Amino acid sequence: MSSTDISLHNDVHSGHDEHHDDHHDQSFIEKYIFSQDHKVIAKQFLFAGIFWAIIGGTLSSLFRMQLGFPEATFTFLEPLLGKWVEGGKLDPNFYLALVTMHGTIMVFFVLTAGLSGTFSNFLIPLQLGARDMASGFMNMLSFWFFFIASIIMFYSLFLETGPAAGGWTVYPPLSALPQAIPGSGAGMTLWLVSMAIFIVSQLLGGVNYITTVINLRTRGMSMAKMPLTIWAFFLTAVLGLLAFPVLFSAALLLIFDRSFGTSFFLSDIYVAGEALTHTGGSPILFQHLFWFLGHPEVYIVILPTFGIVSEVISTCARKPIFGYRAMIGSMLGIALLSFVVWAHHMFVSGMNPFLGSVFMFLTLIIAVPSAVKVFNWIATIWRGNINFTPAMLYSIAFVSLFISGGVTGIILGNSALDIQLHDTYFVVAHFHLVMGSAAFFGMFAGVYHWFPKMFGRMMDEKLGYVHFWITFICAYLIFMPMHYMGIAGFPRRYYTWTGFDTFSTFLDMNSFITIAAIVVFVGQFIFLFNFFYSIFRGRRATENPWKSNTLEWTTPVNPGHGNWPGPLPVVYRWPYDYSKPGAQEDFIPQNVPFSQTASSNLPHERDFE
Amino acid sequence: MSQTTTFEQPKTGTWDGGNEPFKASYGKLMMWFFLLSDAFTFGAFLTTYGLARHRHRSFEEAQALLPEAQRLQEFEFSTQWWPIPEKVFNAFPGFHGVDWPLAFVALMTMILILSSVTMVLAVEAGHRMDKKDVQKWLLWTILFGSMFLGCQAWEWTHFIAGDETGMTLADGSKIYGANLIVNQYGPPLFADLFFFITGFHGTHVLSGVVLLILIFINTVNGVYHRRGHYEMVEKVGLYWHFVDLVWVFVFTFFYLV
Ligand code: HEM
Ligand SMILES: [Cu+2]
């Protein structure tokens, strides 16, 4: 494996030594800021994602304190938050803004841009055997559009009237009428502008990922030899390409309703006794448009982690992935179905009940491909020779969280049950397990697993284990109790609930959840320390520390511009030849021809020798 | 597992990597995928139109609900029903007061279709590496594109200014023309959608004209000739045909149903 690139490792250089002058003589700006190298862009997305995750997490800790300790006074927050905390009490509008921005940031900026941006960019060219993305320039633009969207969204946090506060789903009429709540003023405008730019960034990235997968696979890399990661990123990009434009339409229409007096989503409204001129529009239409994006969006968040987790589980269990084709088929099925279930978010918004039962039927079908995936992961782990790296722990936990959250999805998908459960904490528990936590766990798995290829060094395993167990235990401690509250009818998005006698029994449970939430928030600093420390001081990595089969591990420790110093690798086999009976080692990389593995070739593979 | 040199070759089928399975460069593929996503944007707008149309009564439906004696014989503009397009779009520049239903918009559509034809010719000239012809046909396309935009400007102006019929409101006052809030021709939403959707399409045409001008300049400067192919013209051509196709849908929605 290693003989090919020995000559190149004489000048082992850390990719992060900013003043290091390497042979490409690019300026610092070209190399690290306006870089067109997919690896650098991936890291830019990763750092931006981490930044946003810290902000998003901080916001949730704030509103969790309000929920967990409704009677407490938070005078210590006053210097930081100014008039948002008066007399130690969180302003209700501030609470709404926190929840909205928490959701927006986590869903779009962290788990869409941060996740796909990092791993699609990093892995697509490396695992396909390409020198770079199809268009490096557009790839760079994609990051910088995201950056502008980020700046606008970040700026909106500091507006006097606060950022958007109508929930991350920004339903009109609340979001359409600046006079409705402070958050529907300038904050909402900036939200819409930021999201419009964000969507442009997603499209630039998406067309790039798709065309790269179609046109830039190296010789021998047929679609059926691609690692599941690539399949996952490919389908994610397709979903984004088709779903985001509809949100773009909805955002534009909403901008017109807000700023130019149109009535697309508005009709017959009185605000403070005064009749508005809007007539004829339909707020339900917005919900349809939003969720036409919104439901595929949750798969845009989770699909990349399907890929990452499949890859990590197979590598660390030293077993071929169980049901490779079924894995692809189920992802295709999920991708397809995700476009026809959106109205399960609208069961109680006045939709025709017959339509509701159609959407219920389609929704419940999604359980089938999802279950296929779960069984295949478990079957892959089953009797494997498991290597419990932090990435593997995160992947196994991902499967657990995905099951726990998925099961409640089946409950919610029943339109009759949803009448009781909609807009309660049951929903919050559901999507935080299946999307929030699971996607975060998949992302952590990816970071721990590909860190050596990204930075040429290893992350510390011990800290990784500590970080894992804190995060895993707390994820369940936070979200499991929420199911009970939800079934009891505890509503979401309520600033205060102490006024309702029924809910006073939940005081302890809420405090408990909040404490767990704060513990897990603090626990993430272990990861942050590990991450940044290892970039500079981590143990040096070898080319292929996990003994993995995919092509990225055939590059030098710090792949330079163009990824492979010599000619591009050529692919002969699928990526999951782990523990193949008769083979010398327990893995056979994709670029090893069958003529070299005579001892392990299966009967039908003899023909290729 | 050291990498000895091998003469073994990987598979070389259409989808086996190392080639372009659709026989299209990445640039062209990107344009296709962009257009696919843009189609969804327009799709959402046209769905909005369809829904708004569905939520309002047509003239006949509204009349049928009235007692026999109060029914109108002749179509009139009213916020109570969706207007009949032929009654809204019946003017023609230079001919005041005529009733030529859809004549002008038919002309606009013709112009846009012509521009698609000249675009095809420009692409074809590009395949022949015939710089002169590419220039010629690009110029024609730019001309027709700009004419379309000019027509649209007139159509908008007329729509905004309205005509002397106007609409009589319940309190007896009259309104003329339309903007995003009031609309002489019917429910305000009709005007909202008209401005929004034709405006969005017009923006696409305008961007197309700008792109055409850019590639025209490049063609004149011989950029593509030196490059050895006129693929850029093809890519802009794809965009141009798409915008044309969208117009057909917009036309159908606004003017025919
Ligand atoms: C420390 C971890 C987290 C905690 C304690 C937490 C807590 C909460 C709570 C309590 C709510 C509901 C507030 C209300 O109903 O008033 C909420 C909403 C939400 N969270 Fe989280 N969350 C966490 C992580 C995440 C992650 C990783 C995601 C990423 C998908 C996420 C996405 C959302 C979304 C989309 C909403 C809905 C926002 C809205 O309805 O406006 N959260 N979170
Ligand atoms: Cu959904």
Classified as helix, coil or strand, B14 is coil
Query: Domain count of chain B?
Result: 1
Query: Cβ of B52 under 8 Å from any chain A Cβ?
Result: yes
Q: Is residue A589 part of a domain?
A: no
In angstroms, the CA A16 to CA A155 distance is 29
- Domain annotation covers residue A11: no
CA distance A36 to A32: 9
Ligand nearest to the CA of A362: 2
Q: Is the pLDDT of residue A19 over 60?
A: no
Chain A residues close to B1, C-beta within 8 Å:
1, 584-585, 588-589, 592, 596
Q: For residue A368, give Cα distances in angstroms to A310, A371, A533, B43.
A: 18, 5, 43, 30
C-alpha torsion angle, residues A354, A356, A358, A364 (rounded to 10): -150
Flag whether pLDDT at A137 surpasses 80.
yes
> Quick one: tokens of A200?
């442009």
CA of A59 to the centre of ligand 1 (A): 9
CA of A341 to the centre of ligand 2 (A): 7
Task: Please indicate, yes or no, if residue B67 is contained in any of the structural domains.
Answer: yes
Q: What is the pLDDT of residue A10?
A: 35
Q: Exposed e or buried b for every residue in A333-368, given b needs 16+ CB within 10 A?
A: bbbebbeebbbbbbbeeebeeeebeebbebbeebee
Average pLDDT, chain B: 89
Is residue A604 assigned to a domain? no
- Residues lining ligand 1, CB < 6 A? A 57, 60, 64, 99-100, 102-103, 106-107, 111, 167-168, 428, 432, 435-436, 440, 478, 492-493, 517, 520-521
Confidence of residue A74 (pLDDT cuts 50, 70, 90): confident
pLDDT value at residue A12: 35
The verdict on residue B4 lying in a domain is no
pLDDT bin (cut points 50, 70, 90) of residue A24 is low
Considering the domain boundaries, does residue B17 fall inside one?
Answer: no
Average pLDDT over residues A409-422: 94
Is residue B158 assigned to a domain?
yes
- Is the pLDDT at A6 greater than 60, yes or no? no
| pLDDT value, residue A3 | 37
pLDDT for residue A478 is more than 50: yes
- ipTM here: 0.92
Instruction: Name residue A367's amino acid.
Output: A
Domain assignment present for B12: no
Interface of B with A in 84-143 (CB under 8 A): none
β B167-168/B174-175 pair status: antiparallel
pLDDT at B7: 57
Mutate to test the pocket of ligand 1, among A62, A99, A100 (most ligand atoms within 8 A of CB): A99
A chain contacts of residue B200, beta-carbon cutoff 8 Å: 252
pLDDT at residue A607, as a whole number:
73
Residue B183, helix vs strand vs coil: strand
- pLDDT tens-digit profile of A106-134? 999 999 999 999 999 999 999 999 999 99
pLDDT at A267 over 70: yes
Interchain contact B169–A (C-beta under 8 A): no
Domain contains A525: yes
Q: Would residue B199 count as lying in a domain?
A: yes
Instruction: Answer yes or no: is pLDDT of A9 > 50.
Output: no
Q: Which among B41, B180, B189 has CB closest to A248?
A: B41
Instruction: Write the CATH number for B117.
Output: 1.20.120.80
Cβ pairs bridging A and B (under 8 Å): 161
Q: Which domain holds residue B72?
A: 24-256
Q: Which atom belonging to ligand 1 lies closest to the Cα atom of A493?
A: 16
Q: What is the pTM of this model?
A: 0.91
* pLDDT band of A5, cuts 50, 70, 90: very low
| Arithmetic mean of pLDDT, A491-500 | 88
The parent domain of residue A573 ranges over 32-267+276-578
Tens digits of residue pLDDT in A520-533: 999 999 999 999 99
Is A82 domain-assigned?
Answer: yes
Mean pLDDT for all residues in chain A:
92
Residue A173: asked if its preceding bond is cis (omega within 30°), the reply is yes
Q: What is the pLDDT of residue A49?
A: 97
Would you say residue A471 lies in a domain? yes
Q: Mean pLDDT check: name the lowest of A59-68, A117-126, B91-100.
A: B91-100
B2 pLDDT above the threshold of 50:
no
| Structural Rg of chain A based on CA atoms | 25
- Does the distance separating the beta carbons of A285 and B37 come in below 8 Å? no
CATH label of the domain that carries residue A321: 1.20.210.10
In-domain check, residue A171: yes
Looking at the complex, report in whole angstroms how far the Cα of residue B132 sits from the nearest Cα belonging to chain A: 30
Number of domains making up chain A:
1
Does any domain span residue B1?
Answer: no
> Is residue A20 included in any domain, yes or no?
no
Contacts (Cβ under 8 Å, ≥6 apart) of A128 = A212, A213, A216, A217, A218, A221, A226, A230, A551, B17
pLDDT for position A85: 86
B98 burial (CB, 10 Å; 0-12 / 13-18 / 19+) is exposed
User: What pLDDT is attached to residue B69?
Assistant: 85
B32-51 residues touching A, CB cutoff 8 A = 33-34, 36-38, 40-41, 43-45, 47-48, 51
